[in-house]
Chain A
Amino acid sequence: MKRGRDQADYVQKVRGDSQRLTQSLLDENERLRARLAGLRTENAALAEKARSIDALVAANETLRAGEATLRAERLRFEEAVVQLREELAAAGRRYAALEQRLTEAEEESHRFSQDYLHVEQQNQNLANLYVASYRLNGTVDRGELMLALQEIVSNLIGSEEMGVFEVSENGRTLSLAGSLGLDPERYGELAADRGLIGEVLRSGQTYVGGIETGEVRSEGEENLTACIPLFVEERPLGVIAIFRLLSHKPQIEDIDRELFELLAAQASVALYCTRLHALHGAEVLRA
């Protein structure tokens, strides 16, 4: 009986142990399940984190690639900037050269304009001399010559007060042979040895007002502007006296001086020819 009790106790004990073991196993199982669930959750979280890290790595790779591209772009950009700066500098030099050429061209154009005006002026001067010469040598008629002299003084020199004076036979007086704008009463006869006109007749030098200093003017010479001697073979024939200039003609110019020289040379010969023609023209033309 004791043995039976012992067996029952033993069975009971085993049963209890088994139950405890089972319970322990169940508890352990439960704990492991919970642990497994936790691990799964952790695993999922880690997987998620791993994906994020992959994404970050990928993004980082992309960034690195982008950075390299940017670096390359920046390099190209910097090279382009350098090239552009060089081109800009070259363009600046070309612009400066063009500006220089433009300035030179403008200066040249200005010089050409000045030269053109100078040539035109010379042309006009030559034309004046040609016209005067043509008119002086175009006639042997005394009246026509006087008219030509008046026109030359009036139209080419610019005075409407002039007189052509001839030396009288005795050489002591000057007679008014032709005039424009002068009073014949006052200027009909002048002393050949007085004043500026007398000095021109004596010296054979053209007088132009404003050059000589300390000049002595006789009565009637107050407005004398120029006086041109008329000589043939060193013998005085007379003078051309030019008085007031036209109001818009301020002074005697270089071309006027050239005309004076031409008048001194050609008007004297022309005047001499008209005298010869008056004396012997008919006879010569008959021969």
Chain B
Amino acid sequence: MAIPRKKVLLVDDSRTSIFMEEMILKKGSYDIVVAADGQEGVEKALAERPDLILMDMVMPRMNGLDAVRELRARAETKDIPIIMVTTRGEGDNVEKGYESGVNDFVTKPIDGVLLLAKVRDYLGA
């Protein structure tokens, strides 16, 4: 019986960032779902039930922190691990991120080895 592949939702308005994350995660054989802003990220998370979410912080329509709060407030998505991928890795932003329910942080420019290690750590694969 084939082991079901883990699903990762990438939420970022930057196509460059999404493209980069996809290239890094290709090494891990994951199913990738993409959303271009926080609102779409919440919708995709509810519809796709990913195993992990990589969330950008600054996005149009709904920013990353609000999207995380929304996901944590819903029973269907409250336990999905969320890694915030952001250019803003300063203390205050990190603190706000953890308060909103983020599990971990990765700063841009993304260190591919580090990101993949964290993703594997959360997914166990």
A127 to B19, CA, bound (A): 9
> In this complex, what residue of A is CB-closest to B108?
A155
A286 to B17, CA, bound (A): 34
- A123 part of interface (Cβ distance < 8 Å): yes
CB distance A124 to B89 under 8 Å? Answer: no
Mostly helix, strand, loop or mixed at chain A's interface? helix
- A248 part of interface (Cβ distance < 8 Å): yes
A156 contact set on B, CB distance < 8 A: 16, 20, 109
What's the minimum C-beta distance from B59 to chain A, rounded to whole angstroms? 13
A117-B113, A120-B113, A154-B87 are contacts. A248–B107 as well, Cβ < 8 Å?
yes
CB distance B16 to A127 under 8 Å? Answer: no
A128-B20, A135-B19, A160-B87 are contacts. A155–B14 as well, Cβ < 8 Å?
yes
Q: How large is the interface on A (under 10, 10 to 19, 20 to 34, 35 or more residues)?
A: 20 to 34
| Number of chain B residues whose Cβ lies closer than 8 Å to a Cβ of chain A | 18
A120 to B108, CA, bound (A): 17
CB distance B87 to A127 under 8 Å? Answer: no
> In this complex, what residue of A is CB-closest to B12?
A155
A124-B111, A160-B87 are contacts. A155–B23 as well, Cβ < 8 Å?
no
B90 contact set on A, CB distance < 8 A: 247-248
CB distance B24 to A127 under 8 Å? Answer: yes
> In this complex, what residue of B is CB-closest to A247?
B90
CB distance A130 to B23 under 8 Å? Answer: yes
Q: What mask results when residues 120 to 148 of chain A are scored 1 for a CB within 8 Å of chain B, else 0?
A: 11011001101110110000000000001
- B15 part of interface (Cβ distance < 8 Å): yes
- B112 part of interface (Cβ distance < 8 Å): yes
A114 to B108, CA, bound (A): 23
A156 to B14, CA, bound (A): 11
A120-B112, A158-B108, A160-B87 are contacts. A148–B24 as well, Cβ < 8 Å?
no
Partner of A158, one of B16, B17, B23, B87: B87
> In this complex, what residue of B is CB-closest to A116?
B113
B17 contact set on A, CB distance < 8 A: 151, 155
- A152 part of interface (Cβ distance < 8 Å): yes
- A246 part of interface (Cβ distance < 8 Å): yes
A249 contact set on B, CB distance < 8 A: 109
CB distance A246 to B87 under 8 Å? Answer: yes
- A157 part of interface (Cβ distance < 8 Å): yes
What's the minimum C-beta distance from B94 to chain A, rounded to whole angstroms? 11
CB distance B16 to A157 under 8 Å? Answer: no
A148 contact set on B, CB distance < 8 A: 15-16
What's the minimum C-beta distance from A44 to chain B, rounded to whole angstroms? 100
CB distance B87 to A155 under 8 Å? Answer: yes
CB distance A151 to B87 under 8 Å? Answer: no
B110 contact set on A, CB distance < 8 A: 155
B20 contact set on A, CB distance < 8 A: 127-128, 131, 155-156
- Interface hits, B7-26 → A, CB 8 Å: 14-17, 19-20, 23-24
- Interface hits, B82-123 → A, CB 8 Å: 87, 89-90, 107-113
> In this complex, what residue of A is CB-closest to B110?
A155
Partner of B23, one of A120, A131, A154: A131
> In this complex, what residue of A is CB-closest to B56?
A155
**Which positions in A face B, CB cutoff 8 Å?**
117, 120-121, 123-124, 127-128, 130-132, 134-135, 148, 151-152, 154-158, 160, 246-249
Apart from A154-B87, A155-B20, list 9 A-B contacts with CB within 8 A: A120-B112, A120-B113, A151-B15, A151-B17, A152-B16, A155-B109, A156-B16, A158-B87, A249-B109
13 A-B pairs with C-beta separation under 8 A:
A121-B113, A131-B16, A131-B20, A131-B23, A135-B15, A135-B19, A151-B15, A154-B108, A155-B17, A246-B107, A248-B89, A248-B107, A249-B109
